[in-house]
Amino acid sequence: MEVFFVGSLRADVPPGEQEEVSQSLIDGFRCAPVFLAPELNERFYHHFCKRYLWPLFHYMLPFASPLPPTAEAAASGDGGRFDRSAWEAYVLANKHFYEKVVEVINPEDDYVWVHDYHLMALPTFLRRRFNRLRIGFFLHSPFPSSEIYRTLPVREEVLRTLLNCDLIGFHTFDYARHFLSCCSRMLGLEYQSKRGYIGLEYFGRTVGIKIMPMGIHMGQLQSVLRLPEKEDKVAELRQRFQGKAVLLGVDDTDIFKGINLKLLAFENMLRMHPKWQGRAVLVQIANPPRGKGKEMEAIQAEIRESCDRINREFGQTGYSPVVFIDRNVSSAERLAYYTIAECVVVTAVRDGMNLTPYEYIVCRQGIPGSESAPEVSGPKKSMLVVSEFIGCSPSLSGAIRVNPWNVETTAEALNEAISMSEQEKQLRHGKHYRYVSTHDVAYWSKSFVQDLERACKDHFRKPCWGIGLGFGFRVVALDPHFTKLNLDTIIMSYERAKSRVILLDYDGTLVPQTSIDKKPSSEILRIINTLCLDNNNTVFIVSGRSRDSLGSLFALCPKLGIAAEHGYFLRWTRDEGWQSSSHTSDFGWMQMAEPVMNLYTESTDGSYIETKETALVWHHQDADPGFGSSQAKEMLDHLESVLANEPVAVKSGQFIVEVKPQGVSKGLVAEKILTLMKEKGRQADFVLCIGDDRSDEDMFENIADVMKRNNVAPKTPLFACTVGQKPSKARFYLDDTFEVVNMLSLLADASEPDPVIELEEDDLATSVSAIDISDEPPQLGNRRDEGS
């Protein structure tokens, strides 16, 4: 597989030289550079990335940021306040990367692998242009918990753009878990683990989640180990630290690396274990800081003060306990220090991966033919003291893990590391080297690309469409025949038919799910009554609501059929009695299920139980998303165990767990209605069913099966329609409840109500005054005239 890079340069290149530099990089390194204007780069990288995203992703809340504000922010007094213009610069910079990527890719064959938080907006730009492009993303920093991440003002935009990828990678399970929690809490998405793969369901696509710590470049590292200057430096350092136990730290100078905590722990060790005074040396290499400002100067001053204090207290003639190096160190010199160090110490308070321990292990192993290889001077051995807050920590099972904030415990860990027996050091080193040498960067990249290819194959089997604007854009995987309901087509079929069946869900179909007042408007009542007054129509509301609730809501619709509690109760008109399912009349199981539900309700704030005549429903949409989902899964298992021998079905839905009699569903009641109509000699020749949730999917599926069994007239058109563009067993969709009501209104206008049947005057008056006094009085008489 050929690799081509797209990236930016750290140095500004004058416009007149950019073409030459670009061609040189393409020819020599297969890298196409993106040239950002200096002012854009300042806002994009130094402001939004480094002053906002980087601290936030390392668990630092905005109001606590020690990073210096820009000159503009300081002058305006904005301080750490979110700067919308910086976000706009971030998006614009990502767009420039997108434009460069488009220049160099073949979208039919290439994979695009996006790296790190600087380019999180890029997937949306690419996905908008190429629905089928294979896109992977890997985050090289931590991902914060939802309590931290939710403070980001553009939190949903960032999540949605990442979900336009096919595969998203993280170094550790903790980072992936936090990302999944954010998607669950902020976007209401669900994820599952199947056969070792974690998948996040997003508009019909399964976005893969990959957990794979990055490795080191073994070949590159070994080539440096062979350099003569490295060998010379090793000899010099061995002579300089002869007879000393060398502890080594190699860190960038920033607020998260915990350098001063390391110095305090070393100081504590010398004080608590005097035997190491004069014998132990801490060499701290502090790479120069990338940022500037008073806070960074304060950090450097604090580190220097600690170094000076320790050397004054414990130093002797010819012995300095701390050797502090705050300059750029060459690769050869750094690897020389790794080679002679007895222990490497990493005390970062938060870090994405940190490959320092990996490099140290390889250097201590050495390479054949190297004069400084440990096999020349003795057995291969190494020791690690690492912070539990860095990404490589879970992979190094032989390291001593510490909480760097606990200075005393870290001091004891340092003492334990350099006091450990030679045999134990050898065993731990061997274990680490086997892992590091087999899980290098080549293994990491190959594994990621293989999983990306697998995820894309799944997506390629599904037809996809791009919908939405801005960062709300997403690709929806839908059936190839899934289309928006054409109003002209359905009206034409409606007018030709002589025996029509119309099945309507209520919540989310006729009234919005988010509506506080769930009563039907006078317009909805007018439309339904007009449809019902046409003798060629059989109209039913099919809902999970109770029969009392539906009977009250549609008391003004005498000819409307109602199927309540998913069809357990059925009546054909208001004046007819309720028919109940013959499957069961024993509800003793409720006495077994209700105590279990009460137990979870008491321990889950925001949840409640809905008690119906034939079912119990536990709702947790107002509970904490993570805890509510966890409780729902546990309750499902608990209820299935308790009710294993009862004639009931225990099912989970969106924010609910429901227990209801077996053999009751919207699909079965739809089948029953069509079958009874055939038995009465009114075989349907037009079927319309509309719904918006999972329970309606049974209705769509069952009706399709019923039509195949000749329970309807030949060539009967079926209009199974879901509300909203989402994966569904329905063939058609309408965007929202407004479009549903509008379509039904057009069907009502095309109806031919029986002039003999008239609603009572009291019903007409009540439908206007009691239901929705803001609407104009419905003119049913005029409507009948227009339709005839």
The pLDDT value given to residue 5: 95
Mean pLDDT, range 360-364, rounded to an integer: 95
Provide the pLDDT for residue 438.
Answer: 94
Q: How confident is the model at residue 368 (pLDDT cuts 50, 70, 90)?
A: low
pLDDT at 295: 80
Mind listing the pLDDT tens digit for each residue in 119-143? 999 999 999 999 889 999 999 999 9
Of 269, 261, 162, the closest CA to residue 210 belongs to 162
Say if 709 falls within a structural domain. Answer: yes
Look up the CATH number of the domain holding residue 643: 3.30.70.1020
Cα three-residue angle 176-178-179, rounded to 5 degrees: 65
Name the H helices within 477-624: 487-496, 522-532, 547-553, 589-603
Is 51 in the same domain as 186? yes
In terms of domains, do 249 and 202 share one?
Answer: no
Q: Let me know whether 167 and 191 are in one domain.
A: yes
The model's pLDDT over 515-554, given as tens digits with 9 standing for 90+, comes to 777 889 999 999 999 999 999 999 999 998 888 999 999 9
600 with 743, same domain? no
Same domain for 352 and 391, yes or no, is: yes
Residue 152: both structure tokens together: 């980001």
Spatial distance between the Cα atoms of 50 and 278, rounded to a whole number of angstroms? 41
196 and 164 in a common domain: yes
The maximal CA–CA distance of the chain, rounded, in angstroms, is: 116
Name the pLDDT band for 782 (thresholds 50, 70, 90): very low
pLDDT confidence band for 363 (50 / 70 / 90) = very high
- pTM for this predicted structure: 0.75
- Counting every residue written for the chain, the total comes to 788
- Label the pairing between strands 134-138 and 343-346: unpaired
Evaluate if residue 739 carries a pLDDT over 60: yes
475, part of any domain: no
Of residues 569 and 204, more confidently modeled:
569
pLDDT at 83 over 80: yes
Q: Is residue 452 part of a domain?
A: no
User: Side chain identity at 677, as an amino acid letter?
Assistant: M
The answer to the question of residue 455 being in a domain is: no
Q: How many domains does the chain have?
A: 5
**Is there a contact between 746 and 754 (Cβ–Cβ < 8 Å)?**
no
* Long-range CB pairs of 421-425, under 8 A, 24+ apart, other chains included: 422/379, 422/381, 425/381, 425/382, 425/383
Q: Cα(479)–Cα(697) distance, rounded to whole angstroms?
A: 14
Q: How many CB atoms lie within 10 A of CB 460?
A: 12
Query: Minimum mean pLDDT among 465-469, 665-669, 677-681: which range?
Result: 465-469
What percent of the chain has pLDDT above 70? 90
Query: pLDDT tens, 214-243?
Result: 999 999 999 999 999 999 999 999 999 999
Residue 447 lies in a domain: no
In this structure, the answer to whether residues 126 and 9 fall within a common structural domain is: no
CB burial string 493-524: b at 16+ within 10 A, e below:
bbeebebbbbbbbbbbbbbeeeeeeeebbbbb
Assigned domain for 476 exists: no
pLDDT in tens, 597-641: 999 999 999 999 988 888 899 999 888 887 888 899 899 989 988
- Tens-place pLDDT, residues 406-421: 999 999 999 999 999 9
- Which pLDDT belongs to residue 127? 92
> How far is it, in rounded angstroms, from Cα 357 to Cα 374?
17
Compute the distance between CA of residue 452 and CA of residue 111 in angstroms, rounded to an integer. Answer: 9
Sign of CA dihedral 753, 754, 756, 762: negative
Within this chain, do residues 729 and 594 fall inside the same structural domain, yes or no?
no
Q: In DSSP terms, which residues pair with 658 in a beta bridge? A: 617, 651
% of the chain residues with pLDDT over 90? 59
Q: What is the CATH number of the domain that holds 109?
A: 3.40.50.2000
* Nearest in space to 358 (alpha carbons), one of 480, 461, 441: 441
How far apart are alpha carbons 700 and 694 in whole angstroms? 10
* Nearest to 215, CA basis, from 283, 138, 144: 138
In this structure, are 529 and 498 located in the same domain?
yes
Residue 76 — pLDDT band, cuts 50, 70, 90? very low
Residue 137, pLDDT score: 98
Whether residue 653 contacts residue 620, with contact meaning beta carbons closer than 8 Å, is answered with no
Residue bearing the bigger pLDDT, 30 or 784: 30
| CA 700/CA 677 separation, integer angstroms | 18
Q: Which residue has the higher pLDDT, 720 or 704?
A: 720
Integer-rounded Cα Rg, in Å, for the chain is 34
Task: Report the distance separating Cα 108 and Cα 126, nearest Å.
Answer: 13
For residue 724, pLDDT over 50 is answered with yes
For residues 734 and 703, the answer to whether their CB atoms sit within 8 Å is no
- What mean pLDDT, rounded, does the chain reach? 87
Strand boundaries in 513-668, DSSP class E: 537-542, 561-564, 569-571, 579-580, 608-611, 616-619, 648-653, 656-661
When pLDDT is averaged across residues 752-768 and rounded to a whole number, the result is 52
Q: Are 329 and 227 in contact (CB under 8 A)?
A: no
Residue pair 739/745 in contact by the 8 Å Cβ criterion:
no
Beta bridge partners of 507: 511
Residue 688 is part of which domain span?
483-583+665-787
* Claim to verify: residue 176 and residue 130 sit in the same structural domain: yes
Q: Do 29 and 47 fall into the same domain?
A: no
pLDDT of residue 695: 80
Rounded CA separation 181/625 (Å): 9
Q: What are phi and psi of 510, to 5 degrees?
A: -95, -30
Q: pLDDT tens across 30-64, in order?
A: 999 999 999 999 999 989 999 899 999 999 887 64
Q: What pLDDT does 784 receive?
A: 31
Cα 578–Cα 584–Cα 586 angle in degrees, nearest 5: 105
Does residue 759 have a pLDDT over 70? no
Confirm if 746 and 491 have CB atoms less than 8 A apart. Answer: yes
Taking the C-alpha atoms of residue 452 and residue 123, their distance in angstroms, rounded to an integer, is: 14
Residues 571, 607 within the same domain: no
pLDDT tens readout for residues 326-348: 999 999 999 999 999 999 999 99
Residues 6+ positions from 428 with CB-CB distance below 8 Å? 382, 383, 384, 398, 399
Q: Which whole number is the average pLDDT over 675-704?
A: 87
Residue 671 in any domain: the answer is: yes
Report the alpha-carbon distance of residue 411 to residue 413 in Å, rounded: 5
Three-state secondary structure call for residue 281: strand
Sequence-ordered list of residues with C-beta below 8 angstroms from that of 573, at least 6 positions apart, any chain: 558, 559, 560, 561
Residue whose pair of structure tokens reads 């180990």 in the numeric block? 225
Residue 770 has a pLDDT of: 38
d(CA 116, CA 106): 23
- Alpha-carbon distances of 657 from 263, 621, 688, rounded to whole Å: 54, 11, 29
The H-or-E segment that residue 353 falls in is none
Residues 402, 387 contacting (CB under 8 angstroms): yes
Which CATH number characterizes residue 730's domain? 3.40.50.1000
Cβ-contact 546, 612 below 8 angstroms:
yes
pLDDT confidence tier of residue 646, bands split at 50, 70 and 90: confident
Q: Does the pLDDT value for residue 668 go beyond 70?
A: yes
Identify the residue with better confidence: 685 or 708.
Answer: 685
pLDDT digits 0-9 by tens, 133-182: 999 999 999 999 998 999 999 999 999 999 999 999 999 999 999 999 99
DSSP lists the bridge partners of residue 651 as 658
Q: 79 is written with which tokens? A: 């301080």
- Check pLDDT > 50 for residue 250: yes
Measured CA to CA, the distance from residue 687 to residue 694 in angstroms comes to 20
**Closest CA relative to residue 702, chosen from 715, 683, 718:** 718
In a domain, 87, yes or no: yes
